Structure 1
Amino acid sequence: MTEDFGSLPERIRADEGTPLCFFGNPLQLPQGWDGPSFDIEVAERPTLRATNAGFLVVTLEHDCKERAHFEHICEWLVSNGPLTRIDHELRKYRDYDGYSVVFAGNRSLHFHFVFNTQHLLEAPHDQSRHERWQYRHVHAAVMSNVHQVYWNAVVDLTDRLVDPPVPADKSSNSYAQLKRTPWGNRTLNTESEILGLPAGTLVPQLVLVENIRTRRSAKGGGKFIVEPEFRASHYIKDRKQYRSDAAVGSETEDISAGNEMVNEFGEMCQATWAAPFPKPVSLAMERGEWVLRFQNHPMDRRPSTVARGDHTTLLIQGQDAPVGTFRLPGELTANEIGDHLARRFGIVPNLPTPSVQQFCASELPYFDRLRARAGKAFKETYEETVTRTFPHISSSPIPELQGIYRQKLFHYLNNAMFFKGDMICTSGEGIGKTTVLFNLMQHAALDTAMLQVDRKVRFFVFAFRSRAQAEEKALEYATKVRRAFVLKTFWAYYQDACSKCGVASMQDDFKERSNILSVLKQIACSQPAVYEELERVRRSLWLADDGTSLFTGTTLIFTTHATATSWYRTHLNRTWHHPRFNPQMEPDELEELRGEFLFEKVVFDEPEWEEFAHIPTDELHRHLSAHSRWRWQNLSARERKESFYRMKQSDSALATIDYEDYSELRFLDLARFERVHVDFASQPFGRENSQKAIYRSQDGKSFYFGPKGWPTADTTSWIFLTTESFTTDVIVALYKLKLGRPLLSLRLDNLPGIYPVAVPLVKSPKASARRVQELASEVLISSNRNVVIADGLGSLKGERARTFQGMKGYNGWADEDVYIVLTYIHPERYGRLNALRQWLQVDDTVIKYYAAQLSQAVGRNTGFRKRPGTRTVVVASAGLLRLIQTKLALFAPRVRLEVSPEAFW
């Protein structure tokens, strides 16, 4: 090694050699290296400057203490001997280039294996100097892990094909470890026990055998030891992808990234200190700096030896502590080694930032932080603080991390409950957002009930996508001291009564469907048995098992999205459900009852962005404009349905809309809608962009956007719970630009240690709208544990096959193997998403839509829901992946897709 790069010879001749005895793997030059004031002692350490120059060298060294062992290893070099067999196995891979064996000059041989790394995508070998330095920490993490995979591959082959008399020196598994230069001239510092040479002898580092290919055969191996898509996240060194085709891409046991990070750090320390203790037991970020804790001996139950922050040396504390000075591997500081390992093991995102600490705590001085916040609203400052401080960066195992994150979630939601107005909370699947809010809503309901002195009953509500989910959550919530009520619509009770009485429903025949007195009168005349059953149900509706009334503000209501969003305008449901309702009441008495039954706060689980807006096409808008909304209001429900289905047969504008959505639009004032045109150039999509391309054909088409009124219609405040960043982006923009109502946004989806989850990605031409049912059938037939999430399933939809919409909020697949099929979206869906970008100024809506689908689907049995023995597999066509895969890494950070040649079904 040298600091004088100008003195390096272009070539090294065997007969002359070189005094440069060592070489290393490619490193970025430290900043200012060519300036007069450069000081190598303060430059960034070599480990943090690892970079991809298109190749790297893995070195195996067996440090012999006996001459017999040294001679045994030298025998590996004979023609057709063990080294030839190792080389033959490695040449099956495209990224292997050959070997060179160098006599180290004393008691070992250095087996240098050369690997080509030009194919790596996350650390490109041809980046500019500026980009390379900006992404230096990404390169360092990627190349350290790549080197480790190659080193493991060579060691594994050596152990299987040969019987080494001594194990490989573990210090050589470091990317930055120095290696013996071919034809270097070494002066022995001590006597050579193996060769019997005295100290001071000049010994040449001979090249004993070499076979490095400079050209690649077109018929060479088609596999890689390290695939092009290899990413520096959740690296698990025991995954031996190189063993066989069956092993590549296969599932591994569930291993905590945090535990593996501690194990890796432990091996680094042991190789550096040549001693088992101090032994690392934990790495954690505390108050913006890494704290590394060590055991002094096997029985050390309360480790007190630490290294923290910008220190490179351990602070030895506690009884029976090892004697001596222990510097961290690579002479890195605790912060540097914590950051580096956290990147290598996917505990934090691999982004082009100078330090992981920036994700967790500002490095600005206190007064600078105050100055930076000047002029910001408290809400905005609080949102930023929560986002920054929620991640818990440590080496804790997943069960412990789950408990920590749930405590943090409770803390932040508890604080946020004191904000007046609406809130949206974004976090990972299965973290327990709803469960945390059970207790918080119960306490808030009690406080509200005690403070009110009027006759109004203010309920706290949970709203879900389906009634089945509402009933399931109500059972989960209800205990001896917690009371729950499942709120069904009047029409649901009516249908139940008809079924019980064995008569046909006449739900579409009521003349005044929204008038409860008129409806009950008609039922009493035409279906007296049904009327009596409804009255029996109504009188016991709010009675608890102990005979007390549930109609108090301390009872939590569980219902559906549809019921919650229509509560502000409904008359029939709010009056019939009131325990003081009487069919003989006057209309003004009914209005009084309606005013007493309020929703104070609603937890809205897994909202869809389309639930917040009407989006008719240009064609549908013209249809609605041509038909009077006043005439529609005067029709009975049956007459409306008959009219709708009659028009649907002849009017293409109604082809993709159902009756309920159409009927709602007929009541609206179309003057409130904004016309937005699709701009293909703003978000190009598809395999080609000719004028006839299916997505480009949407260019210029119009959609009419109108915000729905329910979020701001009355005094109800809303808490939206979602796992999708895209949904959050849309709702936040809608509140800000269209509703003019404050919305507190808590983004708690940065969950280091839990995410990202590695998911195999299988490329298949059957992942298309035309062949998706064929693919889904194959997956379902192959195992009764397999379930499928995909659109376009047709008759396959059911308990084992759900659409992306149908699986949201569903938690019943934690023990199944989930197969997710991504296909090209429908052109009209593309058009709506494109126009949405213009309406709400939300960028990348198409890719974010895919990212939301992927994150939601993967969350069915991974992350907090992960159970041993289950797998999740994503299937997509090569064409679609070319369009979306790169950006999915940015917009779906909780998922890391790994291309696999195995189909799994």
Structure 2
Amino acid sequence: MKKPSDLAISPKHQRQIERASNRHLNRMFKEFISPILYLPKEDLHVPHFYHKMGNFSQSALEELKQEFGDDNDSIQKEAELFSNPLRFAQYDPSKKKRGVASGYTPPGQRITNGGWMVFTFEHDGPDAASLETQLDWFAGKRDICDFHKVHTALSRYQDYRGYSTVFSGNKSLHIHLVFDTRHLSNELAKKSAWANATWQGDVPDQVLHELYRSTWVHLATTVQQSLGVPIKFDERLSSYIQKRRSPWGTRMFQDGEKPNVHGFQPGDFIEQTVIQEHMLSRAPTGSTNTLMLAKSAKAIMEVERHSQSRPSKRAVSLKGGDAFINELKRYLHECGWAQYPEPTRIEYLEPYNYLFFKNHANDGNPTTFVRGDYRMVAPSGIGAHSGPLFLPNGYTLDETLNIVEQRLAVQQVSPIASEKSKSNRPRKYSASFGEKALSRDTARANLSGILRNVADAPGTTLVQAPEGIGKTYALMQHVQERRWDREADSQHRTTQRDGDTWSPIPGFICFACKSYEQANAKRNEFIGIENGNTCAVVIKSLSKLYQEAADEFGVKPIERRQAGANGSVSFLHAVKSMQPAVYTRMTELRDEMWMINGHSMFDPTHTVVFCVHSLLKNWPHSQISKAFLHPGFPDDFNQDGVKHCIREMGLYQVIYDEVGWEDLVGIDTKEDVKLAKKVAKVAKKSTGCSWKDAGLPAQVQAFDAVVGGYMSPPMGFDECNRINQIGYQKSDKLKVDAKRFPFGKGVDEINIYAQRIGTYYSKEHRWWSNLGCPVVILTTEDLPRCIASSITLAHRAEDQLKLAAGQKPHREESQYLRTMNLTNTPHLFNELVPIYFDEDARAPDKKGRTSVIDMAQDLLESGIDFVISNNLKNIDKKYEDQVCSHQAARGRNDLTGMTIATIITYPSLGEYDQLCILGQKFDLDDPVAMAMRDTLFQDLGRNLGLRSTPEQKQDMHMVFIKSSLYRDLKLFTGATHDRYRLYHDDLPDGNH
């Protein structure tokens, strides 16, 4: 836990916070929040959140109640944030629409009168000096500090109940002003003589949000005038449901947060100290006015709310206007909009956008409209609506148009910012690429231009394109050259300023591949580029270096479990302690991997590195392992030296080649997750820390305590650690719905797939958002791209709910995982591929029936060069180099010109379960067929399509499959584009 003395502020202000911590003022929580914190019978609670990403359902609070019971003080300490009172959220699965609605009652529809409101004001200044200024407002005793002027000004209101000021943990204070609201409800007013005497009528719950917003604006002015400072407060807090800092909560800094002015790192904790508090149990002495009255709420219901008269930031272009208007209609309809008034056209009449509506079907001159900075639709013309009508979700027209534009962007291709145009308008690469790709050369030339724009964009973009089109090669040609251009331009600008010195931005350009073999092949391809960079190395993970060193010495490798049992704080510490010779050899191998022709190529500003997927995905997390790859790693583990190495091992840009769905999503059985969570709970009980912070020795001790009693351990320590690192939640649990994805043959009673009922946990990974640099993810497959699109839709829906609640979205536009589909190439190729039905295309079984092993050996003996199939690990050793699995075939470039046979077999039950879970979680139509089609296209792309050669013979690639499986899969139904066509005399018309 960080202390006041750790803050980057003056000693005087540090002591001020320390004194406040010792006083521990806490009346706001004790007298207002705690009594209604969790009242299920009254359908009332005060939302509390572990962190800013917590959802607005009561689940987080219920978890806290489950752990601490009625110990509200512990709940207060555990939660970072809270919000104003809400009713409980209800879940309706029929209302769940992926990317549109979560199924839970939105928080904006659960606002209720809990007896009080907290109005919060924050000025998040640029530096620590701003924090010192705010602390000065509360310096000294409460009756003489500067903020007492605000307290005095507000004490004229009978409904004012005081203030509590909380340190945010960074560079601001959260000033909470508490107002009594019992007089706005007849039922609550009966409990207070003052409220009963002041009651003028009930204020409907649906009006409380607007009443809150208008009152917040009034209070902000009062605070500014009383303090005599023209300070601007965060307007997001004008929302009733905006999260705000909880008094005495414990803040943990997260990965991805903006830099902390105090130098705190992710995982650091700090107390949200109550700096000053002046609370009242009743109406202030001498008060005569009431700030919030029912008549004020009635006026709000009659007058449209709009923030300021703000011109539209830009005109909305209506190229393809029908599509935009139709999407707008769909959005309004989803929000409960009636057919009329019906949106018909958008115009930009400087400086505002205007949306015009038809009042009825025969309205030939629509004049009903809404302006860009308004929500209220102004009726005009014959048949116009009567009474107030507002755009849904509290959005102005400009905000609504932005949402619709984002929805269209996700459907087509996500926004990519180019140098010439800084707008985030969607660029329709997908459609134009297919029309321009008339030959192999034109396809690659156009792809190169598209990928240049993708590589220059911030954030992460997943690009799907056909096999063999040269995605990685195009990026190899561009990224290093582009970096040189940027640095040359930056150097020129810097040297034009007297006294300034220039230094390049550090960080490696990194290409991540599926295997070390592919990494070496890509590295060789990279250094072969004409006039390119020859400073390129393949870097190995710590575990790879250790395995090589241990093999050289012929010693049994240490496992992480052994390292923890030995008391070592990390695996690397254990190797150095228990196998010093192996450790020394590891350092030599590490230094050698950076050497080319006797010279070290370690240069984060110039060298390009190639690595495997697993190393890159762990890059943000395994800090000591990453630091060890630096040739200057301190063998004494000096902390400053290690931090220096970590900084120098940063990344400038990442290209992640041949992504699979496993790289995007984690799936584990309920049993494994339950056991891993049990281990994590034991570790937390002994250390008081989460699994990630418990340390290796405590993790191993907990694992041995739980799993050590099993005669046959159901999982190893590394598997347990992997699951706990993912951090599955209750909401990640899904049960296989075999009826949703029917598959297999026979009636349900004998169909092994139809009987699947297993329960799994599934959660999307986030490694790409933690790398701290632009990322381009490449694939040829539909399944990863559809999963990525679904993730983005869910994130956009989540952020739209935040906007609806008056909160800042969690992500900026560049933080969404963008997707681009370039596989629709109708002019490029549409190759015929022979398919053969063979009942031996099955996995080996205990009955000893002929299987894929027999088929593969027969095919190779008949002259086929290579066979791709699963279940071939027991094939005769003389054929080992002529076969591989479907997974291993991904991305291979060395099979061009060979005759290849692909054998497709039924998926295992575990594979079927996983694909069902993916389909359910990401709302996919037929995940089994999609995955099998992706697999087949990957295999065919090894020597067909863009990898075919002019002298290549017909039937260079053959497919073998059981006829029943072919019918089950409907392999080419629903494909983005049938890049290959199967032909067989027995296939129905249209498929040969």
TM-score by length of 1: 0.53
Asked if structure 2 preserves the Cα contact closer than 8 Å seen for 1:836 and 1:842, the reply is yes
Matches within 5 A, 1:5-16: none
How much has 1:539 moved relative to structure 2?
4.9
How much has 1:641 moved relative to structure 2?
9.9
Asked if structure 2 preserves the Cα contact closer than 8 Å seen for 1:551 and 1:579, the reply is no
Specify the code of the residue in structure 2 equivalent to 1:847.
A
Specify the code of the residue in structure 2 equivalent to 1:428.
P
Alpha carbons of structure 1 residues 593 and 368: separation in structure 2 relative to 1, 3 Å? same
| Secondary structure, aligned partner of 1:680 | coil
Residue of structure 2 in register with 1:702 after alignment: 759
Specify the code of the residue in structure 2 equivalent to 1:881.
Y
Matches within 5 A, 1:103-118: none
How much has 1:702 moved relative to structure 2?
2.1
Asked if structure 2 preserves the Cα contact closer than 8 Å seen for 1:464 and 1:604, the reply is yes
Specify the code of the residue in structure 2 equivalent to 1:439.
Q
Specify the code of the residue in structure 1 equivalent to 2:672.
L
Residue of structure 2 in register with 1:896 after alignment: 981
| Secondary structure, aligned partner of 1:848 | helix
> Which of 903, 919, 932 is the equivalent residue of 1:850?
932
Out of 583-592 and 541-550, give the one that drifted further.
541-550
How much has 1:550 moved relative to structure 2?
3.1
Asked if structure 1 preserves the Cα contact closer than 8 Å seen for 2:872 and 2:883, the reply is yes
Specify the code of the residue in structure 2 equivalent to 1:402.
R
> Which of 880, 883, 894 is the equivalent residue of 1:812?
894
Alpha carbons of structure 1 residues 392 and 589: separation in structure 2 relative to 1, 3 Å? same
Residue of structure 2 in register with 1:732 after alignment: 789
2:672 equivalent to 1:628: no
Alpha carbons of structure 1 residues 402 and 664: separation in structure 2 relative to 1, 3 Å? same
How much has 1:862 moved relative to structure 2?
0.5
Q: After superposition, what is the alpha-carbon deviation per residue over 1:696-720, rounded to whole angstroms, capped at 9, x for unaligned?
A: 1114x32211222312234233211
How much has 1:421 moved relative to structure 2?
1.0
Structure 1: tracts of 5 or more residues without a match: 1-363
> Which of 854, 868, 881 is the equivalent residue of 1:789?
868
Specify the code of the residue in structure 2 equivalent to 1:511.
A
Matches within 5 A, 1:625-774: 625-628=677-680, 631=683, 634-635=696-697, 650=712, 660-671=718-729, 674-699=732-757, 701-737=758-794, 741-770=815-844, 771-774=850-853
How much has 1:445 moved relative to structure 2?
3.4
Asked if structure 1 preserves the Cα contact closer than 8 Å seen for 2:564 and 2:697, the reply is no
| Secondary structure, aligned partner of 1:390 | helix
> Which of 871, 882, 890 is the equivalent residue of 2:967?
882
Asked if structure 2 preserves the Cα contact closer than 8 Å seen for 1:725 and 1:852, the reply is yes
| Secondary structure, aligned partner of 2:900 | strand
Alpha-carbon distance between aligned partners in 1 of 2:708 and 2:873, rounded to the nearest angstrom: 25
Asked if structure 1 preserves the Cα contact closer than 8 Å seen for 2:568 and 2:697, the reply is no
| Secondary structure, aligned partner of 1:758 | strand
Q: After superposition, what is the alpha-carbon deviation per residue over 1:653-698, rounded to whole angstroms, capped at 9, x for unaligned?
A: 65xxx76444311445343651222223322112133244211111
Alpha-carbon distance between aligned partners in 2 of 1:592 and 1:853, rounded to the nearest angstrom: 43
Number of residue pairs matched? Answer: 529
Asked if structure 2 preserves the Cα contact closer than 8 Å seen for 1:776 and 1:788, the reply is no
| Secondary structure, aligned partner of 2:881 | coil
Asked if structure 2 preserves the Cα contact closer than 8 Å seen for 1:421 and 1:743, the reply is yes
Residue of structure 1 in register with 2:448 after alignment: 410
Alpha-carbon distance between aligned partners in 1 of 2:703 and 2:859, rounded to the nearest angstrom: 38
Alpha-carbon distance between aligned partners in 2 of 1:553 and 1:503, rounded to the nearest angstrom: 38
How much has 1:443 moved relative to structure 2?
2.2
2:434 equivalent to 1:391: yes
Specify the code of the residue in structure 2 equivalent to 1:765.
E
Alpha carbons of structure 1 residues 629 and 665: separation in structure 2 relative to 1, 3 Å? farther
Alpha-carbon distance between aligned partners in 2 of 1:636 and 1:851, rounded to the nearest angstrom: 45
Alpha carbons of structure 1 residues 871 and 383: separation in structure 2 relative to 1, 3 Å? farther
> What is the RMSD of the two structures over their aligned residues, measured on CA atoms?
3.7
Q: After superposition, what is the alpha-carbon deviation per residue over 1:855-877, rounded to whole angstroms, capped at 9, x for unaligned?
A: 11111110011131361111111
Residue of structure 1 in register with 2:362 after alignment: none
Alpha carbons of structure 1 residues 641 and 819: separation in structure 2 relative to 1, 3 Å? farther
Alpha-carbon distance between aligned partners in 1 of 2:428 and 2:974, rounded to the nearest angstrom: 25
Asked if structure 2 preserves the Cα contact closer than 8 Å seen for 1:513 and 1:519, the reply is no
| Secondary structure, aligned partner of 2:668 | coil
2:475 equivalent to 1:437: yes
How much has 1:637 moved relative to structure 2?
10
Alpha-carbon distance between aligned partners in 2 of 1:595 and 1:606, rounded to the nearest angstrom: 28
Alpha carbons of structure 1 residues 521 and 623: separation in structure 2 relative to 1, 3 Å? closer
Matches within 5 A, 1:20-59: none
Alpha-carbon distance between aligned partners in 2 of 1:798 and 1:629, rounded to the nearest angstrom: 45
Out of 670-679 and 563-572, give the one that drifted further.
670-679
Alpha-carbon distance between aligned partners in 2 of 1:775 and 1:894, rounded to the nearest angstrom: 30
How much has 1:644 moved relative to structure 2?
10
Specify the code of the residue in structure 2 equivalent to 1:859.
G
Asked if structure 1 preserves the Cα contact closer than 8 Å seen for 2:679 and 2:702, the reply is no
How much has 1:544 moved relative to structure 2?
4.2
Alpha-carbon distance between aligned partners in 1 of 2:569 and 2:701, rounded to the nearest angstrom: 21
Q: After superposition, what is the alpha-carbon deviation per residue over 1:450-493, rounded to whole angstroms, capped at 9, x for unaligned?
A: 65967972111100111111111112212574311211112322
Residue of structure 2 in register with 1:594 after alignment: 646
Matches within 5 A, 1:320-469: 375=401, 376-377=405-406, 380=414, 385-392=428-435, 401-447=439-485, 451=490, 457-469=506-518
Alpha-carbon distance between aligned partners in 1 of 2:431 and 2:455, rounded to the nearest angstrom: 19
Alpha-carbon distance between aligned partners in 2 of 1:635 and 1:881, rounded to the nearest angstrom: 51
Residue of structure 2 in register with 1:823 after alignment: 905
| Secondary structure, aligned partner of 1:626 | helix
Residue of structure 2 in register with 1:100 after alignment: none
> Which of 543, 546, 549 is the equivalent residue of 1:491?
543
Residue of structure 1 in register with 2:172 after alignment: none
Alpha-carbon distance between aligned partners in 2 of 1:436 and 1:542, rounded to the nearest angstrom: 25
| Secondary structure, aligned partner of 1:813 | coil
Matches within 5 A, 1:287-306: none
Asked if structure 2 preserves the Cα contact closer than 8 Å seen for 1:737 and 1:840, the reply is no
Asked if structure 1 preserves the Cα contact closer than 8 Å seen for 2:900 and 2:956, the reply is yes
Specify the code of the residue in structure 2 equivalent to 1:676.
L
> Which of 840, 848, 859 is the equivalent residue of 1:780?
859
Alpha-carbon distance between aligned partners in 2 of 1:692 and 1:787, rounded to the nearest angstrom: 36
Alpha-carbon distance between aligned partners in 1 of 2:884 and 2:645, rounded to the nearest angstrom: 41
Matches within 5 A, 1:92-111: none
Specify the code of the residue in structure 2 equivalent to 1:832.
Q
Asked if structure 1 preserves the Cα contact closer than 8 Å seen for 2:539 and 2:593, the reply is no
Q: After superposition, what is the alpha-carbon deviation per residue over 1:39-91, rounded to whole angstroms, capped at 9, x for unaligned?
A: xxxxxxxxxxxxxxxxxxxxxxxxxxxxxxxxxxxxxxxxxxxxxxxxxxxxx
Alpha carbons of structure 1 residues 648 and 554: separation in structure 2 relative to 1, 3 Å? farther
Residue of structure 1 in register with 2:234 after alignment: none
Asked if structure 1 preserves the Cα contact closer than 8 Å seen for 2:823 and 2:977, the reply is no
How much has 1:753 moved relative to structure 2?
3.6
Specify the code of the residue in structure 2 equivalent to 1:877.
K
Q: After superposition, what is the alpha-carbon deviation per residue over 1:819-862, rounded to whole angstroms, capped at 9, x for unaligned?
A: 12222222232222222222112222121112111111111110
Q: After superposition, what is the alpha-carbon deviation per residue over 1:214-271, rounded to whole angstroms, capped at 9, x for unaligned?
A: xxxxxxxxxxxxxxxxxxxxxxxxxxxxxxxxxxxxxxxxxxxxxxxxxxxxxxxxxx
Alpha carbons of structure 1 residues 892 and 638: separation in structure 2 relative to 1, 3 Å? farther
Alpha carbons of structure 1 residues 548 and 875: separation in structure 2 relative to 1, 3 Å? closer
Alpha-carbon distance between aligned partners in 2 of 1:531 and 1:387, rounded to the nearest angstrom: 50
| Secondary structure, aligned partner of 1:719 | strand
